[in-house]
A and B are shown apart, each in its own frame.
Chain A
Amino acid sequence: MDELVLPPAMIETMTAAADWVIVLPVVLALMGAAMALMLRKAGSLSFMLAALVICAVIACDIALLLRVLETGPVSMTMGKWLPPFGISLAADLFSAAFALAAAVVTLVVLIYAEGESGRDERDGFHAMVLLLLAGVTGSFLTGDLFNLYVWFEVMLIASFGLMVLGGKPIQLDGAVKYGFLNFLATTLFLLALGLLYGLLGTLNMADVMRVAPAANPAAMAGVAALLLLAFSMKAAAFPVNAWLPASYHTPPAAVSALFAGLLTKVGAYALLRSLVVVLPASRDLLEPLLVAIAVGTLLIAPLGAIAETNLRRAIGFLVIGGVGAILAGIAVPSQEGIGGAGLYVFHAILTMTALYLVAGLIERGTGETDTRRMGGLYAASAPLSILFLVLILATAGVPPFLGFWPKLLLLQTGIGEGGWSGGLIVVALLVNAVLTLIAGSRLWGHVFWRSAPADGNAAPLLPQTWQRLGATAVLVSMVLAAGLWPNGLFEGLNAGIPDMMDPARYVDAVGLAGASP
């Protein structure tokens, strides 16, 4: 019998064993979700399983990060077909670091949620958290645009489930708005993908980078504009941000925290990846629009937070403000700009989650959701007020807290860029910092500093479980430590930025069929 000769489009060498770490986080989380679904009636067993799975995911993410630091971008292609045909997963330093941060935050939220009451209302909670983590990790690690769409939908269906878990009327109301607008955003993304496929005949990111320069620039700009619209909706950038403050305060605090840390950041990361790395020429055409969106988001969001009295809705506006800072980096993608945007995503994943966790502690302790009926909590719990203040300062970007470092890079890039776009971004960032500080200190003043209002909570804080306090404290100390010792982060940025600026190593790692070996 003749020896089987494989066509040149097939992979003949095994993927290096160490490169398998790129697929493990996604596979583990998906399998864990399936098992957690089977164990959903088993009480704490399903929690133990979910915690173990997330620990394993964190270990794989760390291994992936070390591997990327050592050898540069890592890629693996499914199904034995070379990349434009097979579906690739590909990670550079940015995606690996975000995947790690997402998994860490998910573990913290999982422990926090274990301390929440009403467990019987949370049927399937652990399964959906793992599914959400799988979707988020997949979005960070994928090297294929259609695959990114699929991970978006995995994330979306898991977040739908988490949002309505418990089924209170307010949750259903929030979920209707969240559901329709996010489904519309992913459908718009799919529309852009259809047009992109029609233009280029490929959806693999590395392959798109190769063939996009030869395509009609006007048509590509149209596709990029659709991608911008779709991802801006996912990231809740102005003017398509209205769904976020309408929905993020409705589910339990742990779920809000998970959403705030992960979902909008995936949208921002998708913008960074698709516009800055994959379609840089089209991004240049859209630059005025990007500057306008960034400035609008930076200015509108903290104003919304100042005008809002519901604690978690106000924090929702602060989340949107953070997206504005990331967009500022995408609008001016110099070395510092990309570094600032990347570092801000990392900062926002940790800080926004922690902010919602603290808000959950406050709401649980006082039994109120509206800051108008809160007050005098400083006397009841000084440590809680310190946690909140640290996070507010980190969000506003006051040195030496974590939020300062990315904003410093973004300011540098704005000044370095010069011209009207750089100037606008610098002014908007500074005004945003001041307004965020006003909004945050106003919240802090109302909740903690002023004396309790007559119709509000006069009673001392209700007791909290140790899981909730411990998880929050750990996350806040991570934010604090990363802000006080940012050297490691900057070294990581220096190693990661070159691959975002010039994706040659990334394309090499993916190893397209027909490319010179």
Chain B
Amino acid sequence: MDYVLAALIGCFIALGVYLLLSRSVIRMLLGMTIFGNGVNLLIFTAGRLTREVAPIIPSGLDQPEGVIANPLPQALILTAIVIGFAMFSFLLVLAFRAYQSLDADDTDTMRVAEPVDEPNPPLSY
């Protein structure tokens, strides 16, 4: 099972990086999301997979009786998902506003902050 998930994570990250290398902002955004999900899956897998044993300690005991699923990676992923979703929403709105006011969803034509055809700096001093 670990190997299947590892391969899946590899696919997610590869696809995310591929989309991030694109010039279209929307494709970059999708790439970011897929990349983030690959990372979440990686944390989940790195926390070791245990099937069908909920991490609940029976009452009256200090520690669980047998092997249980590791709850910590799930807490970490939950945090990461929430944060990732907030960032995704912000970047989506940003991409839309940039499309509206710059009329560009291609990073090559998005050159307001870094003009390309500026004259050379002066040679004095």
Within 8 Å CB of A195, what residues of B? 42, 46
The smallest C-beta distance from B124 to any residue of chain A, in angstroms, reads 6
**Which of A95-103, A186-194, A484-492 binds B?**
A186-194
The yes or no answer to A378 lying at the interface (CB within 8 A) is: no
Q: Give the total of B residues in contact with A, Cβ under 8 Å.
A: 45
Q: Which of A136-187 contact B (CB under 8 A)?
A: 146, 149-150, 153, 156-157, 160, 164, 167, 169-170, 172-177, 179-180, 183-184, 187
The answer to whether A179 and B46 touch across the interface, beta carbons within 8 angstroms, is no
Partner of A246 from the list B13, B25, B114, B118 (CB cut-off 8 Å) is B114
Within 8 Å CB of A174, what residues of B? 113
Q: Give the total of A residues in contact with B, Cβ under 8 Å.
A: 47
The answer to whether B102 and A197 touch across the interface, beta carbons within 8 angstroms, is no
In the bound complex, what is the Cα–Cα distance between A324 and B94 (angstroms)?
Answer: 31
The yes or no answer to A498 lying at the interface (CB within 8 A) is: no
In the bound complex, what is the Cα–Cα distance between A193 and B75 (angstroms)?
Answer: 14
Within 8 Å CB of A245, what residues of B? 114
The yes or no answer to B86 lying at the interface (CB within 8 A) is: yes
In the bound complex, what is the Cα–Cα distance between A177 and B114 (angstroms)?
Answer: 11
The yes or no answer to B122 lying at the interface (CB within 8 A) is: yes
The yes or no answer to B47 lying at the interface (CB within 8 A) is: yes
In the bound complex, what is the Cα–Cα distance between A302 and B104 (angstroms)?
Answer: 31
User: Are A197 and B122 CB-contacts (below 8 A) given A157-B86, A175-B94, A190-B39?
Assistant: no
The answer to whether A250 and B113 touch across the interface, beta carbons within 8 angstroms, is yes
The smallest C-beta distance from B93 to any residue of chain A, in angstroms, reads 9
Partner of A446 from the list B39, B45, B90, B122 (CB cut-off 8 Å) is B122
User: Are A197 and B73 CB-contacts (below 8 A) given A176-B98, A307-B121, A441-B125?
Assistant: yes
In the bound complex, what is the Cα–Cα distance between A391 and B100 (angstroms)?
Answer: 39
The answer to whether A172 and B43 touch across the interface, beta carbons within 8 angstroms, is no
The yes or no answer to B83 lying at the interface (CB within 8 A) is: yes
The answer to whether B91 and A183 touch across the interface, beta carbons within 8 angstroms, is yes
Within 8 Å CB of A146, what residues of B? 76, 79
In the bound complex, what is the Cα–Cα distance between A308 and B42 (angstroms)?
Answer: 42
The answer to whether A445 and B97 touch across the interface, beta carbons within 8 angstroms, is no
Contact string against A for B residues 99-125, beta-carbon threshold 8 Å, 1 for contact and 0 otherwise: 001100001001111100011011011
The answer to whether A167 and B118 touch across the interface, beta carbons within 8 angstroms, is no
- The 14 listed contacts between A and B (C-beta, < 8 Å) are A146-B76, A153-B83, A170-B112, A173-B111, A176-B94, A176-B107, A184-B35, A187-B39, A194-B46, A197-B73, A250-B113, A309-B118, A309-B121, A450-B125
Q: Report, nearest first, the 7 A-B pairs whose CB atoms are least far apart.
A: A198-B46, A194-B43, A445-B125, A173-B112, A173-B113, A194-B42, A172-B98
- Chain A residues with CB under 8 Å of chain B are 7, 146, 149-150, 153, 156-157, 160, 164, 167, 169-170, 172-177, 179-180, 183-184, 187, 190-191, 193-195, 197-199, 245-247, 249-250, 306-309, 372, 441-442, 445-446, 449-450
